[in-house]
Amino acid sequence: MSISSWEELPLDCGDPAGEHAALVGAGAFFDVAAGFFRVQGPDACDFLQGQVGADIASLQPGEGAWSLSLTPKGTLIAPTVVYALSGEDFLFVCNLEALDALVGALRRFLLRVKAEITVLPGMRARVLLGPAVGQLLQDTFAVCPGKAAPEITGLVEGFHGLDGLLDSPDTVFLARLPEGGLGDFFLCEPGRNSASDAFLAEAGELLRYAEIVPVGRAALDGYRVERALPVFGVDYGPDIVPHDAGLVPRAVSLSKGCYVGQELIERVHTRGNPALHVQTLRFTGDTASFEEETREVLEDGVSLGRLTTTAFCPEWGVVGGMGLLKRKAVPGAAVTVAGVSAVLLAGGESA
């Protein structure tokens, strides 16, 4: 799930160490502001197949996939998650700040096409993540009296696990997020300007009953750095080549037909030479006086790029960092950031 206003997340929820333990243990959740829009109509599938990176035609009803939208030159507009509600109805979830650009790009090509784009009101969504979160959802709702166990293998509408807690349970759904990003499931209320405080409070109590706890930005940043999981709007933005952020091939089908921006994607993929790549590092020097504003990564005095996230990483026991660095930055290289020594680690994919 792409994050809107990451800096607005609380730094912690009272127990940073316990929050990180929940992320790698039972499960955790955090709230985001997300953009939602639907593309519907007899030509919706064919239209989207030529507009976005994902292989829309291969999605079965209830299935979701990572995708992205590109400019005609092949640079990124924004990544998305797309769900097939039917063969003629597709739901897109995106970073709220990228919503207008994504919808505008699609509408520019919506000529003589039997499809329409509907922007849903902005919504808060609750992202659930952790290795045990799926089983905890199943176990909790199966044993709660009067609450049916939800199906959690695709898109779920009318999430019965919240019956009796919400005024309009038919407006709530739980969706599985595609693999490879920051989160496993998300829960939201489509059709409202935002999730009500009552909804979030009641859903939070139910999740806590399942031992799924809230987490803040400090624990999430450490978790992301440890796994090389940059997110749109935090570690990278629009106008980059998608390969630089690890979005190819996860958000792009390399086997389907033509789509907007395909030429650059295929050329960079074939040559295998993106200018940047996702890189993490561990600090080996004293970070007590580390200046957050000074994030340039230097190797022998030469700049490799800038860190976009730094955080204490409990699994490493030290502060770590992450950014999109030049391709010549290789794992094992000794570097400095603001005069503090560090060593480069392997890169990863983006969220």
Q: Is the pLDDT of residue 81 over 90?
A: yes
Domain shared by 33 and 168, yes or no: yes
- pLDDT at 156 exceeding the cut of 70: no
Number of domains in the chain: 2
Residues 6+ apart with CB under 8 A from 112: none
Do 286 and 190 have their domain in common? no
The two three-digit tokens of residue 307, written as one number? 């860190």
Instruction: Please name which of 49, 75, 60, 72 lies closest in space to residue 248, comparing C-alpha atoms.
Output: 75
195, 218, 241 — which closes off a domain? 218
Residues 279 and 214 in one domain: no
Domain end, chosen from 218, 252, 285, is at 218
Residue 92 sits in a domain whose CATH number is 3.30.1360.120
| Domain identity same for 212 and 280 | no
Helices (H), the chain: 16-24, 44-49, 99-107, 133-143, 197-209, 217-227, 262-271
**Which amino acid is it at 232?**
F
In a domain, 254, yes or no: no
Q: Are residues 181 and 54 in the same domain?
A: yes
Cα 101 from Cα 82, distance rounded (Å): 16
Domain contains 245: no
Do 56 and 158 lie in a common domain?
Answer: yes
Per-residue pLDDT, 99 = 94
* Mean pLDDT lowest among 75-84, 235-244, 287-296: 287-296
Considering the domain boundaries, does residue 232 fall inside one?
no
| 3-state class (DSSP) for residue 178 | coil
Residue 268 has pLDDT above 80, yes or no: yes
* CA proximity to 312, closest of 213, 214, 217: 217
Band the pLDDT of 141: cuts 50, 70, 90: low
Helices and strands, counts by H and E, the chain = 7, 16
Q: What is the pTM of this model?
A: 0.86
Q: Whole domain around residue 161: which residue ranges?
A: 6-218
Integer Cα distance of 162 and 151 in angstroms? 13
